Amino acid sequence: MTTVLERLERLPRRNLTVLALNGIGSLAGGWQNITSADALISEVLGTSDPTLLAQVRARADALSRARHEGYGRALSLYDAVNRSQKASGSLRVLANVTGGLPLVKRMAQVVPPSDTLQAVDLSLKVAAEMLAFTQVNGLPGDSFGDFAAALQDYAGDAKVRMAALVCFDALLPLGDQALQRLEGLLAGVSGRDLRQLPAYGGMAGLLPGRGDEAHLAFLRQGVGTWLGWAGGFVGTLGLSGQRAVRALESTLGPWQGSFEGLAAFLDAFTDTYQHTGVQAVARRLVERAAAEI
């Protein structure tokens, strides 16, 4: 069984994902790509004492392997939305490049319209964030109030993850009024639309309620909870599609396509949510392990 800290140490130090996160991190106070368990433990403890580092790592690995703890399930949530992101992003890139091909036209007929697909993708990522939070904190999956309170304290890598979510999954593909449009888009989503997305299959067993309609109600409530915080977050940081593009160009190079095309490219070729999700779970795990030593 791969532990959380082993997953952390397998994260890339430099690739497209890291460059994209470094770019968007410039809008949210910076981002440090921690891929070393010892470095993370040392940061949390405020010391590099090797004996203490080894003790915390041993306790963290024991917690990670415990079946009744939620760390592995939290990682599976980030993995599920990552698969869905890549699938939907690849389809959108393919449609943009080869939209005249009959096969692509037939594929387009069996998936929801692009804006709807993007809204559902975003709602699944918000749900994954909330459920991962409840898993690592031992809370019920429908703890909307606790999640809303936790968002107010997001800082560091968590803040950058939310900046990436807002920019890559809302402002770039849906426009600067994306947050105002989300609830309307989700209101028109059907159970059939939901079942088109790989992330739903991976997450359905962890979503509270039974059946598509109950799960849609949960997703809509989760987005509603998140939107209450996200609006202030966007305003405080001055986020917009144009600012996101400029920030990304500082690390990825010039972009000459549409904002929606950039969003599709990022979905298809980066793992930003999974990457920072692993880091978030690892940090929470180490904080608990350190407190228990």
Distance (Å, rounded) from C-alpha 205 to C-alpha 214? Answer: 12
Residues 6+ away with beta carbon under 8 Å from 86: 267, 268, 271
Distance (Å, rounded) from C-alpha 200 to C-alpha 124? Answer: 7
Which tokens sit at 210?
A: 């039974």
- Please give the biggest Cα pair distance in the chain: 63
Per the CB < 8 A criterion, the answer to whether 268 and 20 are in contact is no
Phi-psi domain of 119 (left: phi exceeds 0; alpha: psi -120 through 50; beta: other): alpha
* Per-residue pLDDT, 85: 75
Q: What is the 3-state secondary structure (H, E, C) of 148-180?
A: HHHHCCCCHHHHHHHHHHHHHHHHHHHCCCHHH
- The end-to-end CA distance of the chain, in Å, is 23
Distance (Å, rounded) from C-alpha 226 to C-alpha 179? Answer: 10
Q: Evaluate if pTM is beyond 0.85.
A: yes
| Number of other CB atoms surrounding residue 224 within 10 Å | 16
Tens-digit pLDDT profile for residues 233-285: 999 999 999 999 999 999 999 998 889 889 988 988 999 999 999 999 999 99
* Per-residue pLDDT, 186: 93
* Per-residue pLDDT, 104: 45
| Mean residue pLDDT across the chain | 88
Tens-digit pLDDT profile for residues 23-79: 999 999 999 999 999 999 999 999 999 999 999 999 999 999 998 899 999 999 999
